[in-house]
Amino acid sequence: MTEPNTQSVILEKTFPHPPEKVWRALTDPHLLAQWLLANDFAPTPHHKFQFRADPNPQWNGLIDCEVLLIDPPRQLSYTWSSLGLNSVVLFTLIPTESGTHLRMEHSGFRPDQQFAFKGASYGWRNFLNNLDRILTEVPQ
């Protein structure tokens, strides 16, 4: 999914929870808001939605997205557009003996977007740590 001359943030983490539970946290708008951002997500192909963060003087706090791929409970992909960054997020869930291995790839960072790339690298690490916490708190 990456274009030539672009970078991707790729993170992988294994959770001691079944793929269906991880999938629910990725696709339920209420749970998604608890570990990522407020949203109006719906797990429907071509659904346009927004993630909402607190605005600041340089940014209105909105990330425009569109669902590209929904393959429960294996893959989820959506666009991620904000501040001149037009990119794609792809989650891949792989069942393991003890839970789920999650691979997250945020692709499409141009060479002139190093600040966004570094911010996304930092941000996604925090988000996935939040996801780990939410998965522990949410019943099966």
Q: Return the CATH number at 103.
A: 3.30.530.20
Nearest Cα to Cα of residue 75 among 114, 130, 27, 31: 27
Alpha-carbon distances, residue 59 vs 53, 110, 124 (angstroms): 9, 20, 19
For the chain, the C-alpha Rg in angstroms (whole number) is 15
What's the predicted TM-score (pTM) here? 0.94
- Please check whether residue 76 lies inside any domain of the structure: yes
What DSSP state is assigned to residue 113?
Answer: G
Domain tally for the chain?
Answer: 1
- Please check whether residue 119 lies inside any domain of the structure: yes
Give the tens place of pLDDT for each residue, 25-64.
Answer: 999 999 999 999 999 999 999 999 999 999 888 889 999 9
- Please check whether residue 14 lies inside any domain of the structure: yes
Structural domain for 45, as ranges? 7-137
- Please check whether residue 2 lies inside any domain of the structure: no
Where does the pLDDT of residue 140 fall: very low under 50, low under 70, confident under 90, or very high at 90 and above? confident
Residue 13 contacts residue 27 (beta carbons within 8 Å): no
